Every structure is written in structure tokens, then in C-alpha cells.
Amino acid sequence: MSRFNIVAAFALILLPLVASAELYRCPKDGTTVFSDKPCSDDAQPYMPKPIQVVPATKVPDLAKQYDDRVSKEVKERNKADAAWSKDYEAKKQQDETIRNARMAGKVVVGMTQQQVRDLLGDPQIHSRNENKNIVREGWTYKNRDGSRTIVYFKDGIVSSTASKSRQ
């Protein structure tokens, strides 16, 4: 038998003796001290609670959760960006239409009341109707040839126009 095997066998024989040594818990100067010798005549051996091993549970894949969350956020941001771009292009087109109409001296849907006043002046006849917080107005203008132009507003924005010929 080799020297290592002899030492290992001897250690295995002594291991239960070392493992079964008693441990004492002693209060000392307001703190707790642990010792292998009793601190008083009535000292009781301290037996620590056994360690409870909990079986491993399935750990969530945090990297996948992160990637999924980032992917969702990117899709939402792209959707919001596309909606903003669409609204921006529509607003830009509406502004161009209004600018061209003002240069031509015409009233078009989407103009504000101030833009109509700047173009045609104050109306000769003004009507107003308010129902369920929606304000509708009609402005009537007399043209030089005797016909009339009526501009209808919904909440201060031109919603439609009408022309009535001379009667």
C-alpha cells in the first residue's frame, strides 16, 4: 500500500470523529461566540439547522426575453415613425394646396378662418350653429357678378364651399 493510500485511509477513519465534534453557542459581552468548549456549566450544545437544498428550477432565458422586448419596441417605434411620416406628408401636401389656392385667390378645404378673411375679407352674412361642442359656421360673400359664395366651417376649418348663381 502506498503512502498516499495510507494517509487517505487514516483520514477517512478520523473524519466521523471530527465531524461529530460538539459546538457551543455562548453569549459574551452582548455578542454571540461559538466554541468547541462549553462556556458555562449549564451550556447546551448548539446544533445548526441543516442546510436545505432546493432543486433547481428552470431559469428563464433572459437574453431571449431582452431580445423579444427590444424587437417589440423597435416594431412599435417603426410603426409610430411611419404614422408620423404619413401625417407629416399629408400636412405638407395640405399646406401646398392651401398656398396654391391662396395664390389663385380661391378658398379650399382645410383653410382657417383667418386665411379666408385674408383672402376674401369679412363675410356679408354670417351664421353660426353649436351642437355637442362642434361649432359650424357659414360665411356668405357676394361676388361682383351677383353670385354668392358660401364657405362652411367646422371648428374653425373650411369643411366645404358652395356657389350660388345670381337669381
The 8-class DSSP code of residue 34 comes to E
Per-domain boundaries in the chain: 106-167
Task: Cell numbers for 61, please give them.
Answer: 432565458
- Does domain 106-167 match CATH 3.30.1450.10? yes
- Cα–Cα nearest to 147, from 123, 163, 129, 126: 163
Task: Cell numbers for 70, please give them.
Answer: 427590444
Return the pLDDT at 90: 93
Q: What is the pTM of this model?
A: 0.49
Task: Cell numbers for 142, please give them.
Answer: 357676394
Distance CA(115)–CA(107), nearest Å, equals 9
Give how far the C-alpha of residue 87 lies from the chain's centroid of Cα atoms, to the nearest Å. 21
Q: What is the pLDDT of residues 32-85, one digit of tens each?
A: 888 888 887 767 788 878 888 888 888 788 999 999 999 999 999 999 999 999
H-helix or E-strand spanning residue 84: helix 62-104
Instruction: Give backbone dihedrals phi and psi of 142, rounded to 5 degrees, phi first.
Output: -95, 130
Distance CA(20)–CA(116), nearest Å, equals 100
User: What distance, in Å, lies between the first and last C-alpha atoms of the chain?
Assistant: 131
Return the pLDDT at 20: 56
Average pLDDT for the chain: 84
